[in-house]
Amino acid sequence: MPPLLKFIIRRFIAVPITLFAITAILYGVMMMAPIEARARLFTPMGAANNPGLDPDRLIQQIIRSRGLDDPYPVQYGRWVSRLLRGDWGWSPIYGNVLEALLRRTPATIELTLFAVLLLVPLGVVSGSIAGARENRLADHAFRFVAFVGTAIPPFILALILLGAFYVSLHWFPPGRIGLAERFLVESDAFRSYTGLLTIDGLLNARLDISVDALRHLVLPAFTISLLHWATLGRVTRATMIEELDKDYITAGRGRGLTNRSIVWRHALRNAMLPAVNSIALSAASLVMGVFVVEVMYSFPGVSELIVALAQMPDVSMAMGFAVYSVLLVLPVMLALDILQALVDPRVREGVLGS
Are the beta carbons of 119 and 112 closer than 8 angstroms? Answer: no
Residue-level pLDDT at 352: 47
> Would you call 143 exposed, middle or buried from its count of C-beta atoms within 10 A (0-12, 13-18, 19+)?
middle
Q: Give, as one character, the DSSP assignment of residue 43.
A: P
Q: Give the span between the Cα atoms of 266 and 268, in whole angstroms.
A: 6
Residue-level pLDDT at 48: 54
Residue 90 β-bridge partners: 96
Residue-level pLDDT at 340: 73
Handedness of CA 143, 147, 150, 153 (dihedral sign): negative
Q: Give the span between the Cα atoms of 123 and 121, in whole angstroms.
A: 5
CA proximity to 123, closest of 229, 279, 228: 229
CA proximity to 216, closest of 120, 104, 288, 294: 294
Residue-level pLDDT at 353: 46
Domain limits at 65?
3-96
Residue-level pLDDT at 307: 76
Task: Answer yes or no: do 87 and 170 share one domain.
Answer: no
Whether residue 214 is contained in a domain is answered as no
Q: Give the span between the Cα atoms of 193 and 115, in whole angstroms.
A: 21
Task: Answer yes or no: do 89 and 128 share one domain.
Answer: no
Domain of 111, CATH number, reads 1.10.3720.10
> Would you call 65 exposed, middle or buried from its count of C-beta atoms within 10 A (0-12, 13-18, 19+)?
exposed
CA proximity to 317, closest of 34, 65, 101, 46: 101
Whether residue 292 is contained in a domain is answered as yes
Task: Answer yes or no: do 142 and 58 share one domain.
Answer: no
Whether residue 211 is contained in a domain is answered as no
Helices (H), 255-302: 259-261, 268-281, 283-296
Residue-level pLDDT at 304: 82
Residue-level pLDDT at 45: 59
Q: Give the span between the Cα atoms of 308 and 313, in whole angstroms.
A: 8
Are the beta carbons of 215 and 172 closer than 8 angstroms? Answer: yes
CA proximity to 218, closest of 317, 126, 118, 151: 118
Task: Answer yes or no: do 49 and 131 share one domain.
Answer: no
Domain boundary pick from 78, 96, 114: 96
How many distinct structural domains can be found in the chain?
A: 2
Task: Answer yes or no: do 291 and 156 share one domain.
Answer: yes
What is the model's pTM? 0.83
Residue-level pLDDT at 354: 45
Task: Answer yes or no: do 133 and 157 share one domain.
Answer: yes
Beta carbons within 10 angstroms of residue 88's beta carbon: 23
Q: Give the span between the Cα atoms of 4 and 340, in whole angstroms.
A: 10
pLDDT tens-digit profile, the chain (354 residues): 677 778 788 888 888 999 999 999 988 888 888 888 777 777 765 555 556 666 778 788 888 888 888 889 999 999 999 899 988 888 777 888 899 999 999 999 899 889 888 888 898 899 999 998 988 999 999 999 999 888 888 889 999 999 999 999 889 999 989 888 888 898 888 998 999 999 999 999 999 999 999 999 999 999 998 888 988 899 889 988 888 888 888 888 888 888 888 888 878 877 777 777 777 667 667 777 788 898 889 898 888 887 777 667 677 888 888 898 888 888 877 887 787 777 766 655 654 444
The identity of residue 127, as a single letter, is G
Domain boundary pick from 63, 96, 129: 96
Q: Summarize pLDDT for 139-164 with one digit per residue, the tens.
A: 999 999 999 888 888 889 999 999 99
Q: Give the span between the Cα atoms of 209 and 179, in whole angstroms.
A: 11
Are the beta carbons of 232 and 124 closer than 8 angstroms? Answer: yes
Phi and psi for 298 in degrees, rounded to 5?
50, 40
